[in-house]
Amino acid sequence: MKKKFWLGVTLAAVMAVTAACGANGSDNTNTGSNNNTGNTGGDAEKTYTIAISQLVEHPSLDATKEGFLAALKDAGIEEGKNLKIDMNNAQADTANSKTISQKIASGKADLALGIATMTAQNLAEDVTNIPVLFAAVTDPIDAGIVKQLQAPGGNVTGASDTNPDAVKQTMDFIAAELPEVKKVGLVINEGEPNAVVMAKYAEEALLAHGIELVKAPIVNISDVQQAAESLVGRVDAIYITLDNNVVSGVDSIIEVANKNDIPFFSADRDTVEKGAFLTVGFKYFDHGYEVGQMAVEILKNGKKPGEMDITVPQKLDFIMNLKAAAEQGITVTDKMKSYVKDPENNIIE
């Protein structure tokens, strides 16, 4: 991992931005089209345009977008009333992502949001005349999106969706509660920076327990099933990171894990709800909501992105799917259940 990124994590998280209070203001760096619909002006009559570039549709990224829009709505910025959304989906394609960012750069939005690393990278590179926010990005420094977590400067800020301790806690659970696991398989698109970073965290944590990480590389979503099947007989458990192509094809991994009684661990709650056994994570809706609060501060209160610290998830908990455990041949003990701080919400039956 890069020390320059994680040394600032705790401080950045503590300084996370709070919800907007609805005060009047304007973003002096914004050259977008804030049009008033009345004669008296003011936030109540201001119309905003936000351009969103999302890498691909899958539950975590979709929930991030929903949380973002919910925060805006709670602050009085609502689609169909005083908010226009220019929604763009890159369909996990590099060229599409670049085309979208260039289109946004030449448009008249008031703010741009990149959901996932690639789209955020492209927006940070191409969009320089309006505020840019990012979400669902693992390591914004390693990805070249910003240079530092605290007051990153320029027109870009946002929230990372990874606390490296979450990966470590998941690997520690595997070592402690499934001692028969000697090899963990990882389906991974090594062309995706966030996947590579998280894979490194997982590998380091597993090596500390004498467990080997076995990679099954993919290039696109259509490769996921074959990669998962290639791990059968070679590993004792399977893990996936916040790898957008892999998560988009995760149904294939669940099918392989269930058919072959292989414990399946993920890095996001939505995949556990779908059929992975366990993760240490958070709700992506909450992650998106936090970024939406940042947008409110920029649009309504005149905050400058470069002065707003990047944040990381803090509300971590073990999330466990008991039905998935039964499908994958896992006997869930009371000790396993005791890892979950909020069993009412985070033990799925």
Q: Cβ distance 187 to 224 under 8 Å? A: yes
Please, where are the H alpha helices in 127-163?
Answer: none
Question: Looking at residue 59, what is its pLDDT?
Answer: 87
Q: What is the CA radius of gyration of the chain?
A: 21
- For 128, the token pair is 């320089």
Angle, helices 193-207/164-177, rounded to nearest 10 degrees: 40
More confident residue, 28 or 124: 124
State the pLDDT at residue 172: 98
Structure tokens at 65: 């977008």
Count the alpha carbons within 13 Å of 217 in the hemisphere toward its beta carbon: 5
Global pTM reads: 0.73
DSSP state for residue 91 in the 8-state scheme: T
Average pLDDT over residues 144-172: 95
Higher pLDDT, 36 or 186: 186
Tell me the per-residue pLDDT of 189-227, one tens digit each, with 9 for 90 and over: 999 888 999 999 999 999 999 999 999 999 999 999 999
Q: Are strands 35-36 and 156-160 parallel, antiparallel or unpaired?
A: unpaired
Q: What phi and psi, each to the nearest 5 degrees, are found at residue 210?
A: 75, 25
pLDDT of residue 209: 98
Confidence at 177, pLDDT banded by 50, 70, 90: very high
Are the C-beta atoms of 167 and 198 separated by less than 8 Å? yes
Whole-angstrom Cα distance, residue 64 to residue 292? 9
Tokens of 326: 């039964």
Per-residue pLDDT tens digits for 254-311 = 999 999 999 999 999 999 999 999 999 988 999 999 999 999 999 999 999 999 999 9
What confidence tens digit (pLDDT) does each residue in 64-98 have? Answer: 999 999 999 999 999 999 999 999 999 999 999 99
pLDDT score recorded for residue 140: 94
Per residue in 105-121, pLDDT tens?
999 999 999 999 999 99
Write the pLDDT tens digit of every residue in 7-41.
344 334 433 333 333 333 333 344 344 444 333 34
Average pLDDT, the chain: 89
Phi, psi of 311 (to 5 degrees): -115, 165
Predicted local confidence at residue 31, as pLDDT? 37
Predicted pLDDT at 194: 86
Alpha-carbon gap, residue 141 to 143, rounded angstroms: 5
> Which residues does residue 137 pair with via DSSP β-bridges, in sequence order?
160
Write down the pLDDT at residue 25. Answer: 36
311-334 confidence digits (pLDDT tens): 988 789 999 999 999 999 999 999
Q: Enumerate the H helices of 178-234 as residue ranges.
A: 193-207, 224-230
More confident residue, 180 or 244: 180
